[in-house]
Amino acid sequence: MRATVDPLLAGARLDTALAKLAGVARTRAAAAIRAGLVLRNGLPAKGSETVAEGDRIDYEIEPPPALNARPEAIPLDIVYEDAELLVVNKPPGMVTHPAHGAYSGTLVNALLAHVGTLPVGTGEEAPLRPGLVHRLDRDTSGLLVVAKTPRALELLGRAMQHRKITRRYVGIAVGTVTPPAGTVAGPIGRDQRNRQKMAVREGGKPAVTHYRTLEALRGATELAFELETGRTHQIRVHMAALGFPLLNDPVYGHADKRVALPGQALHAGSLSFRHPVTGEELTFAVDPPVEYAAARELFRG
């Protein structure tokens, strides 16, 4: 197939531009470039090259498979619901949406069974993430807002993009965190040595995490976190980079057999935003799960 770079894409990386032109994920576009299936103005190109207006892009990319999430009757802890949206308290251990290796038993599967249909955004994997405004890691518990209508999905998506949705977390870090309060500002991108992890690295996306100590424990610290950005694994990556990984984090720290948590001790306990239709200011808060509370008690000694 052939496409021409328009003014809006001029100056973008080739892999980014191709993803938009072909309507696929950037990873698929990058893979096609690496495989030699993409020509820029008739010549082989690299994904990191910058495209210019009028560039001719020839490519061969298989169309993405039809992806759809299916409803499953799974109990939900619904904190709030109206005609436009709902707020749920996700338990630890539940995947937020279907993905490779987890196509059932997710929060989205449960939501579809409860609501019936959810609005779908744009992008190759959007059918697997209907209604989702933001996500939580599998083993992170807590609050998520879900859009029930296309209008709510669009307006809440804009609010998230413009940092109008406030998310606060609590977590337990290993060690006595110093300084006791501060800000971690470090760009986050895929770890180049381990593609299953994220890392603070040059060329990553800007990420800012604010933290403060709630309680000094024995060999650990309970912290409150507030995010300015929402990068993958952001709190976990930033705390590990600071030298105080989250308790029981098997990826960025170490699993701790003394606690019953399925993964990292992290809970999204507070969520605030303006209702996308009524304009009402909404604030929700939920306590951490019993496994988190038990881990905190253990380190209180």
As annotated, the active-site residues are: 137
Query: Six-digit token pair at 11?
Result: 């100056």
Nearest C-alpha neighbor of 55 from the set 108, 103, 118, 6 = 6
Q: How far apart, in whole angstroms, are the C-alpha atoms of residue 207 and residue 231?
A: 7
Q: Where are the beta strands (DSSP E) in the chain?
A: 2-4, 38-40, 43-44, 56-59, 78-81, 85-90, 141-147, 166-174, 181-185, 188-190, 198-200, 208-216, 220-227, 266-274, 281-285
The distance of Cα 199 from the centroid of its chain, to the nearest Å, equals 14
3-state DSSP call for residue 253? coil
- Contact, 237 vs 253, CB < 8 A? no
Q: How far apart are CA 9 and CA 59, in angstroms?
A: 17
- Using the 8-state DSSP alphabet, how is residue 88 labeled? E
Tell me, what DSSP letter sits at residue 61? -
Contacts for 43 with CB less than 8 Å, ≥ 6 apart:
none
For strand 266-274 and strand 141-147, is the pairing parallel, antiparallel, or unpaired?
A: parallel
